[in-house]
């Protein structure tokens, strides 16, 4: 197994970091790796904001309710950004671009670009011996985060990424077996996945029961049904539309 695959298969989110800040060189290496991800039509529809102000970090921690938003080696906020290209255009061209900028297609382009860049950042950080945790919890109050970061029209905060030297070694969290998620040539409409999922539920239940921190009794199916029965962050929908994205 090569080093890259080893790094990928060794991934687990880190939620406790040592009190050591990343160097500027480490931060730049991670951002450069993020930028080198494939990007739809070379749009590069993202801005990455590094948070170095401790007061701001405390505000973002309050939004997320998660201590590792503040206590980490560095905090990045990944934003979808169609503002850069829009504002470069002359007003007459902007008028012509509006329909496209506001489309669901370009919203998808933006979120994919951000996710690919962030995942590259994660892999880069992990290959450097650092740990990471994505932070969708910043969307607990997306309007407040937007205001804190002074984001203009067409720019949306999608998630944070906490990076730092791990101060814990959590067990690797199991994934669904390949048969569940990889099919060839067409969607497996006729396949009953209930047995595969029951097996996975048992595997994950055992992971939750036996893990060294935050042991609990749960299964994947129960967790997912709970999650999708209880809508969260419904203010994100009008927020995105107010940002003049995903409107048509």
Ligand X SMILES: Cc1cc2nc3c(=O)[nH]c(=O)nc-3n(C[C@H](O)[C@H](O)[C@H](O)COP(=O)(O)O)c2cc1C
Judged by CB under 6 A, the stretch of 11-19, 20-28, 98-106, 212-220 that binds ligand X is 11-19
CB of residue 147 to ligand X, shortest distance in Å: 19
Give the separation between CA 203 and CA 59, rounded to whole angstroms: 38
Judged by CB under 6 A, the stretch of 8-16, 33-41, 199-207, 213-221 that binds ligand X is 8-16
**Which positions from 129 to 168 touch ligand X by CB under 6 A, shown as an x/- string?**
----xxxxx---------------------x---------
How many residues belong to the site for ligand X (CB under 6 A)?
Answer: 12
Give the separation between CA 108 and CA 209, rounded to whole angstroms: 37
CB of residue 215 to ligand X, shortest distance in Å: 15
Give the separation between CA 110 and CA 97, rounded to whole angstroms: 15
Give the separation between CA 73 and CA 163, rounded to whole angstroms: 6
66 is an interface residue for ligand X by CB under 6 A: yes
Closest CA to 196 of 207, 208, 182, 184: 182
Dihedral (CA of 112, 116, 122, 125) sign: negative
Judged by CB under 6 A, the stretch of 6-14, 97-105, 176-184, 208-216 that binds ligand X is 6-14
CB of residue 94 to ligand X, shortest distance in Å: 31
Q: How far is CA 113 from CA 28, 51, 203, 243, in A?
A: 19, 21, 33, 18
Give the separation between CA 228 and CA 87, rounded to whole angstroms: 38
| Residue placing its CB nearer to ligand X in the complex, 134 or 165 | 134
CB of residue 13 to ligand X, shortest distance in Å: 4
Q: Which residues bind ligand X (CB under 6 A)?
A: 11-13, 15, 66, 133-137, 159, 173
């Amino acid at each position: 197994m090569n080093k890259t695959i080893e790094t990928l298969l060794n991934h687990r989110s880190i939620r406790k970091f040592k009190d050591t800040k990343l160097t500027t060189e480490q931060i730049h290496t991670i951002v450069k790796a993020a930028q080198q991800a494939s990007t739809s039509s070379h749009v590069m529809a993202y801005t990455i904001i590094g948070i170095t102000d401790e007061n701001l970090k405390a505000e973002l921690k309050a939004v997320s309710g998660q201590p590792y938003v503040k206590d980490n080696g560095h905090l990045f906020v990944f934003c979808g950004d169609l503002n850069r290209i829009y504002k470069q255009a002359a007003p007459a061209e902007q008028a012509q671009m509006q329909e496209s900028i506001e489309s669901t297609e370009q919203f998808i382009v933006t979120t994919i670009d951000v996710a690919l860049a962030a995942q590259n950042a994660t892999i880069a950080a992990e290959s450097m011996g650092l740990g990471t945790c994505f932070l969708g919890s910043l969307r607990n109050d997306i309007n407040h985060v937007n205001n804190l970061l002074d984001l203009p029209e067409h720019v949306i905060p999608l998630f944070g990424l906490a990076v730092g030297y791990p101060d814990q070694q959590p067990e690797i969290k199991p994934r669904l077996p390949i048969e569940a998620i990889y099919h060839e040539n067409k969607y497996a409409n006729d396949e009953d996945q209930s047995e595969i999922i029951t097996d996975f539920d048992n595997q994950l239940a055992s992971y939750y029961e036996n893990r060294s921190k935050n042991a609990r009794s749960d299964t994947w199916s129960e967790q997912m049904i709970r999650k999708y029965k209880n809508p969260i962050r419904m203010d994100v929908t009008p927020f995105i539309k107010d940002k003049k994205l995903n409107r048509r």
